[in-house]
């Protein structure tokens, strides 16, 4: 449109007509084509001398994304009366109207004017009036989108000036500090270093072995739930879902569904053979809604049909009439309405907070709020279950994509009214879970179990991505309200913290998530006086659930926010404040646990040295002094993650090891392989125990009829627990073999096994492990809930475009103490994956719900229910330099083979990117004359980055304390 392109259009008879690009687009998804025409070609005119055309685009994500706002701008300059004036111009924007918008008033104004600063200022005033975005405009982000129209025009103005530099009589020079506004960033090739030591134990433990399923996975041959072959009489299930956040069900009309193609049955609450009430901790959730619905996406019933598509079609034809009721759609709504899940209020104390605040010990006391956004799990494999009956319905078997086969067994037996001994759940592997498949997946299996059991036919249910995201729950959003007292030096003396999480419409694991956030609410800081109160909010959203870190990252992010604010108050760097407040060996935490084997200081010093922090700081300051519109920032962040389930009874693990006469070993344990390498590590432990090659060990599926009552694969503790259980079983078998082995020398393990078989030695053993020395009492708020801590630290450097909010991570250095790693290659991969997933949480991935902050979305509905609207990190979000190292010579006596857990601890370290972004924004604000503290919510999307960088363009729209809306 901006270039004045022509579209050539041809019809089926060969007639060709021409249409200007600016006339081709007639409305939203409407173009100037009849049903018998197609677009033949696009003709772009050649540039005239001194005619400049430039494109602009800002999206949520750097790659593979549609624009939030884009623009095409063209201007033609000519020399007239010893001045360079505009002879022709066209300014066109996308993303500010239902169709591409030609800013004709602004374009007309430019013509005949000299290309100078006065033209720029006057044009912006016209542009401000010409582009109208109302508060409830679809897509939201109204202030940000308008600011981009100014930013793009300013960039275009500078670019044209830069192109004209050196032309006679052209006087408008671009200052050197402004050049960065028109320079496009060139992405260098990514480089990385992985630094670790190899501490071998036996034939396999400690070796950087390849993931044992990796070849099947990369070739597409690895089998998942949806790959299970279905018998000819199988059915597909689809859910009937609520369309209201809170309502009374008046009637359900299923006539349309019953006449739908391939329909085989519809099942509602009245059809449930056993108990309709479910839940992992308390039974507060209906499998199928009866009288009320309490969220959009709540399950009302299930339809089965001959195909997946026919089942979905039939489910859509079920008509439900509602009487709408008031809905609670945010944490703040819940606080105002006193809407909390029963018996979820928690409190932890240390010292005397009130006395410290009132005694005069504190030189300063600050108060504030931190809003923490949620996150979608977005595993590669959606939720799914394939379930069938055996022996005419006397038994039920299923294959499920779950982190907890035992919960599936328990839920299905509960819903069908069967004993658990007659229900079997098997899981070969799952395509990612991250906590999302710990509890919520059991609801789905239960829904599919009802038609399978009642019809005595196999049923498969696989959720489409949008439904999966809409109904299965995400990482909890949090609100933290803090009051912190500290000295002029920056030493923290007292913390009074209130934490709220958005639990959704059922409790699920929200109380445990809240507790974990409270355990981690100090991160790594020694605070003499602490009071932490927590509440789980009941809201009319789908129940939120476990997600990697399980509330810990939210608690730590709140802590790092007030640490950063103290740094501003005492005029020191955040890193200085962190260092002076670190815990150390022997520190007693606010929940009573004593810190032992603390490697935090060593990690921090090694990272500070390896990233050359002081020099990096100086280089960033130099860059920022010489660049007005691009800024760099750096940050260092520490972490400490407690390893154990915080519910004591879950810290147990079982395994079954069977040795065959050919010398091969079959291992079955209660843990689930979800890509994290658990089976690989467990197989290494068995191989080393028997002193055989890794290839001689095979791990089959996880199954409730092999290892009963298994805890979920969660809490980062699975390698510790299931590895120890397998080792226990191996040691039992070896003890039985010892009398035979001691009588003579055998040339191979196979020979020894055969000899044992002939001596009638039992070559099968059940292993068991319980995590020792852990306990916690919520009545006193004291105990030792964790076996040990995994420590880590990260450094990040970012560069932001202050005019658009675009950013990239120039460098990330991560170091973790993983003891003597069981498999350093897998552990480094876990760290890299956790860091990128964490980067998504802090900087890219934003859940947008229909709430008071987003009134253009229907109440309670999720807008971001697919990759088009929900922005996962892409290849271009990788740090340019990405270095990962493991602390050397740091054995951990409290876990198997001196190792440490790796799954969740690295996730929070991506917040170094978030605080580096904030550091860069701080530099931009200071240059504009704003030195005060400012809040930045996560995710730090381009919208939040841009609107925090207060300048003369944002001042046309908002105040310097503007805070873009966030669904919490």
Surface-to-core class of residue 218, CB atoms within 10 Å of its CB (0-12 exposed, 13-18 middle, 19+ buried): exposed
Q: Using CA atoms, how far apart are residues 71 and 83, in angstroms rounded to an integer?
A: 27
> Annotated binding residue at 516?
yes
Secondary structure (3-state) at 13:
coil
Alpha-carbon 802 to chain mean position: 25
> Annotated binding residue at 361?
no
> Annotated binding residue at 376?
no
904 is catalytic: yes
Q: Using CA atoms, how far apart are residues 651 and 135, in angstroms rounded to an integer?
A: 51
212 to each of 440, 718, 769, 801, 823, how far by Cα in Å? 28, 17, 24, 43, 12
DSSP per-residue codes, 921-949: HHHHHHHTT--S----PBS--HHHHHHHS
Q: Using CA atoms, how far apart are residues 441 and 112, in angstroms rounded to an integer?
A: 66
Q: Using CA atoms, how far apart are residues 682 and 29, in angstroms rounded to an integer?
A: 55
Are residues 864 and 870 in contact, defined by beta-carbon separation less than 8 angstroms? yes
Q: Using CA atoms, how far apart are residues 253 and 260, in angstroms rounded to an integer?
A: 13
Secondary structure (3-state) at 799:
strand
> Annotated binding residue at 137?
no
> Annotated binding residue at 438?
yes
Are residues 825 and 208 in contact, defined by beta-carbon separation less than 8 angstroms? yes
> Annotated binding residue at 661?
no
Are residues 535 and 557 in contact, defined by beta-carbon separation less than 8 angstroms? no
> Annotated binding residue at 547?
no
Q: Using CA atoms, how far apart are residues 823 and 828, in angstroms rounded to an integer?
A: 9
Q: Using CA atoms, how far apart are residues 270 and 252, in angstroms rounded to an integer?
A: 13
Among residues 531, 451, 448, 446, the alpha carbon closest in space to that of 483 is found at 531
Count H helices and E strands in the chain, helices first: 23, 38
Q: Using CA atoms, how far apart are residues 691 and 733, in angstroms rounded to an integer?
A: 13
> Annotated binding residue at 646?
yes
Q: Using CA atoms, how far apart are residues 668 and 722, in angstroms rounded to an integer?
A: 10
Half-sphere exposure of 274 (CA within 13 A, CB side): 21
Secondary structure (3-state) at 432:
coil
Are residues 495 and 527 in contact, defined by beta-carbon separation less than 8 angstroms? yes
Which of the following is catalytic: 376, 515, 904, 927?
Answer: 904
> Annotated binding residue at 39?
yes
> Annotated binding residue at 954?
no
Active site residues: 904
- As annotated, the binding site for substrate includes 438, 516, 550, 646
Annotated binding-site residue numbers: 39, 57, 403, 434, 438, 516, 548, 550, 646, 715
Query: Which segments are annotated as binding site for FAD?
Result: 39, 57
Annotated binding site for Mo-molybdopterin: 403, 434, 548, 715
């Amino acid at each position: 449109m901006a270039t004045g392109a022509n579209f050539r259009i041809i019809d089926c008879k060969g007639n060709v007509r021409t249409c200007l690009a600016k006339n081709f687009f007639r409305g939203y998804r409407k173009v100037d084509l009849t049903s018998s025409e197609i677009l033949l070609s696009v003709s772009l005119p050649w540039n005239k001398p001194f005619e400049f055309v430039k494109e602009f685009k800002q999206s949520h994500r750097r790659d593979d994304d549609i624009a939030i706002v884009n623009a095409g701008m063209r201007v033609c300059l000519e020399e007239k009366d010893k001045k360079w004036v505009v002879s022709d111009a066209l300014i066109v924007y996308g993303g500010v109207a239902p169709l591409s918008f030609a800013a004709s008033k602004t374009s007309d104004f430019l013509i005949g004017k000299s290309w100078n600063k006065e033209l720029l200022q006057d044009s912006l005033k016209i542009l401000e009036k010409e582009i109208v975005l109302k508060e409830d405009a679809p897509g939201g982000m109204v202030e940000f989108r308008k600011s981009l129209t100014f930013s793009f025009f300013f960039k275009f103005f500078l670019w044209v000036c830069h192109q004209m530099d050196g032309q006679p009589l052209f006087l408008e020079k671009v200052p050197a500090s402004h050049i960065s506004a028109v320079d496009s960033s060139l992405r260098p090739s990514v480089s990385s270093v992985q630094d670790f030591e190899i501490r071998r134990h036996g034939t396999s433990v400690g070796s950087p072995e390849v993931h044992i399923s990796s070849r099947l996975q990369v070739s597409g041959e690895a089998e998942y739930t949806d790959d299970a072959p279905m018998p000819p009489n199988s059915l597909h299930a689809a859910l009937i879902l609520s369309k209201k956040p809170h309502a009374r069900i008046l009637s359900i009309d299923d006539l349309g569904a019953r006449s739908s193609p391939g329909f085989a049955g519809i099942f509602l609450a009245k059809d449930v053979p056993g108990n309709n009430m479910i839940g992992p901790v308390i039974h507060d959730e209906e499998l199928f809604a009866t009288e009320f619905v309490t969220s959009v996406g709540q399950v009302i019933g299930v339809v089965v049909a001959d195909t997946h598509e026919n089942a979905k079609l039939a489910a859509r034809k079920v008509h439900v009439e509602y009487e709408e009721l008031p809905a609670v759609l945010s944490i703040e709504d819940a606080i105002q309405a006193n809407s909390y899940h029963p018996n979820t209020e928690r409190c932890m104390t240390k010292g005397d907070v009130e006395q410290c605040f009132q005694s005069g010990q504190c030189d300063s006391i600050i108060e504030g709020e931190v809003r923490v956004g949620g996150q979608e799990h977005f595993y590669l494999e959606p939720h799914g279950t394939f379930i069938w009956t055996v022996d005419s319905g006397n038994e039920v078997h299923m294959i499920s994509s779950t982190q907890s086969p035992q919960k599936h067994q328990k839920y299905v037996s509960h819903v069908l009214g069967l004993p658990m001994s007659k229900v079997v759940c098997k899981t070969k592997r799952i395509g990612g879970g991250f906590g999302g498949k710990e509890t919520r997946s059991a609801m789905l299996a239960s829904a599919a179990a009802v038609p399978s059991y009642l019809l005595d036919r196999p049923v498969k249910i696989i959720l489409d991505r949008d439904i999966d995201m809409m109904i299965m729950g995400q990482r909890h959003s949090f609100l933290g309200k803090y009051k912190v007292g500290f000295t002029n030096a920056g030493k923290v003396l007292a913390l009074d913290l209130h934490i709220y999480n958005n639990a959704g419409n059922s409790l699920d694991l929200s109380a445990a998530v809240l507790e974990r956030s409270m355990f981690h609410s100090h991160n790594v800081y020694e605070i003499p006086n602490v009071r932490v109160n927590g509440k789980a909010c009941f809201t009319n959203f789908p129940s939120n659930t476990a997600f990697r870190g399980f509330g810990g990252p939210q608690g730590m992010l709140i802590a790092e926010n007030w640490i950063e604010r103290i740094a501003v108050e005492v005029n020191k760097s955040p890193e200085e404040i962190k260092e002076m407040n670190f815990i150390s060996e022997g520190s007693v935490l606010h929940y009573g646990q004593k810190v032992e084997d603390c490697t935090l200081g060593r990690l921090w010093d090694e990272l500070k040295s390896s990233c050359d922090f002081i020099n990096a700081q100086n280089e960033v300051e130099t860059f920022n002094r010489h660049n007005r519109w691009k800024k760099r920032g750096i940050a260092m962040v520490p972490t400490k993650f407690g390893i154990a389930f915080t519910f004591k009874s879950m810290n147990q693990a079982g395994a079954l090891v069977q040795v065959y006469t050919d010398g091969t070993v079959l291992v079955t344990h209660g843990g689930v392989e979800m890509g994290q390498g658990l089976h690989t590590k467990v197989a290494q432990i068995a191989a080393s125990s028997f002193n055989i090659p890794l290839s001689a060990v095979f791990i089959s599926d996880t199954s409730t009829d092999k290892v009963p009552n298994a805890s979920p694969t969660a809490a980062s503790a699975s390698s510790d627990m299931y590895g120890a259980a397998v080792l226990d079983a191996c040691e039992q078998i070896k003890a039985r073999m010892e009398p035979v082995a001691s009588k003579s020398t055998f040339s191979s393990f196979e020979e020894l096994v055969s000899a044992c078989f002939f001596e009638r030695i039992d070559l099968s053993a059940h292993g068991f492990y319980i995590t020792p020395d852990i306990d916690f009492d919520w009545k006193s708020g004291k105990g030792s809930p964790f076996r040990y801590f995994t420590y880590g630290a990260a450094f990040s450097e970012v560069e932001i475009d202050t005019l658009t909010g675009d950013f990239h991570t120039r460098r990330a250095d991560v170091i973790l103490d993983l003891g003597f790693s069981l498999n350093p290659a897998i552990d480094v991969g876990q760290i890299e994956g956790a860091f990128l997933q964490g980067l998504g949480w802090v900087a890219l991935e934003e859940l947008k719900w229909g709430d008071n902050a987003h009134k253009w979305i229907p109440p309670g509905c999720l807008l971001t229910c697919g990759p088009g609207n929900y922005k996962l990190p892409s290849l271009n979000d990788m740090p340019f330099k990405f270095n990962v190292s493991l602390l050397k010579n740091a054995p951990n006596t409290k876990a198997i083979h001196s190792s440490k857990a790796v799954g969740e601890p690295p996730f929070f370290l991506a917040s170094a990117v978030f605080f580096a972004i904030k550091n860069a924004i701080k530099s931009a604000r200071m240059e504009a004359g704003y030195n005060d503290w400012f809040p930045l919510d996560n995710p730090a999307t381009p919208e939040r980055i841009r609107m925090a960088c207060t300048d003369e363009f944002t001042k046309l729209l908002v105040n310097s304390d503007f805070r873009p809306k966030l669904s919490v």
